Each structure stands twice: as structure tokens, then as C-alpha cells.
Amino acid sequence: MNIYENKHIRIEVEDSEIPWLKIFAQEKCKEMTDCNQETKQQIWMLLDLIEREMLDYFKPEKINIASFANYVPQVHWHIMARFKEDSYFPEPMWGKKQREADLSFPDMDIFLKQLKQRLS
């Protein structure tokens, strides 16, 4: 689900048991060095903003930020709020499942609404 976009980036929600957003460069660029300066600046600013907002709102054990783009060779970043009780912790979300999770955290819709207000 796309929650925000402008001419440089777009932000999507990953369907997951944890709060997980992705920032994509709008222009076709395989690596960060291929992005124009404005796109790079917006990505860095958004990584910082989203991490701070997730820490404040969800109170996770850890924030994971990753950029692989091996399957989707387009610059994009994953920002994930991680909890000791999530299904994969301490493994990455792409790792080996450790347990069945029964997570409870504040409403994601409220978080997204607040984040959209910050981005406007």
C-alpha cells in the first residue's frame, strides 16, 4: 500500500506482522550512487524521520534498516520495528522463523496518519 509520494520518492507499507515501511526512489536507479542528489537527501531524511517516529510510537526493541534490492533492482529501503516477541527476532525478517508471534502494539493506522501529517 502506497502511503506517500512525491517526484523523488514513494513510501509503501509492507504487509507484515510488524510495522514495516519501504522507501523507493521514483527514478530508475539500481544503486544509491545512481540517484540524483535530491532523491538521496530525501531518502536519508525519511530514514531518520521514520526511525524516530517508529521508536516513539511503537517502542520496539530495535529498528532494522536494510537495502538489498537483489530481487527488485531498484533503490529502496526497508524500515522495520522489531520486537523480542516477533516471529523472527533476533533473526532478520527474511531469516529462520523462531516462534509463532502474538504481538500487541499501538494501532498502525494511527501511526500512518500521524506520519502522513509529518510528511505534509
Task: Provide the edge-to-edge strand list for the sheet that holds 9-13.
Answer: 2-5, 9-13, 20-25, 76-82, 62-66
The rounded distance, in Å, linking the Cα atoms of 9 and 46 is 10
What pLDDT digit, counting tens, does each position of 2-33 carry? 999 999 999 999 999 999 999 999 999 999 99
Backbone angles phi, psi at 105, to 5 degrees: -150, 170
Helix, strand, coil in percent for the chain, rounding step 5: 30, 20, 45
Domain boundaries, the chain: 2-119
pTM (two decimals): 0.94
Tell which CATH classification among 3.40.190.170, 3.40.50.720, 3.40.630.30, 3.30.428.10 matches the domain 2-119.
Answer: 3.30.428.10
In the numeric block, the cell 500521524 is attached to 114
